Amino acid sequence: MSEHTDKKRLVRVRDIMKTKFDMIDGLATVDEALHTMKYTETKTLIVKKRNPEDEYGILLIPDIARLVLAKDKAPDRVNIYEVMTKPTLTVSPDMDIRYCARLFDHFDISRAPVVEYGEIIGLVSLTDMVLRGMM
């Protein structure tokens, strides 16, 4: 075995995820979502389940730009459920961030909720993986 074969430090999603995130109801308007985003300085909102059998959704700033702004729709007349992504891809808190990054690349996404026992416990992004996980 070579001296250069250092064992890489395993960094899991739970080690770098953000545990503060905001949730919104799918019936809220894009205008309400924008006010929430401005207040919390976030680019992502998790859309709540309507019932236990439902799935989580996600609303990102690019969704609003593409589906509301670019189409010249009034943000106070468009509901979240019309522009959100649902179901959203979720990741396990125990996933190695290298696999998480590959998953994000495969599905061309930049962030995802972290789910444990059916509940969202955090949010992870490519930025988190690079800036917090590689150092």
Q: What is the CATH number of the domain that holds 47?
A: 3.10.580.10
Predicted confidence at residue 7, as pLDDT, reads 63
Quickly list DSSP for 51-81.
STTS--EEEEHHHHIIIIITTT--TTS-BHH
- For 64-108, write each residue's pLDDT tens digit: 999 999 999 999 999 999 999 999 999 999 999 999 999 999 999
Any domain includes 8: no
Number of domains in the chain: 1
- Residue 5 binned pLDDT confidence (cut-offs 50, 70, 90): very low
Asked whether residue 5 is domain-assigned, the answer is no
Residue 60 has φ and ψ, to the nearest 5°, of -120, 155
Chain segment 22-55, per-residue pLDDT in tens = 899 999 999 999 988 876 777 899 999 999 999 9
pLDDT at 4 over 70: no
Q: Is residue 125 in a domain?
A: yes
7 found inside a domain: no
Indicate whether 2 belongs to any domain.
Answer: no
Tell me which residue range forms the domain holding 34: 13-133
In a domain, 116, yes or no: yes
Q: Do the domain assignments include residue 6? A: no
114 belongs to a structural domain: yes
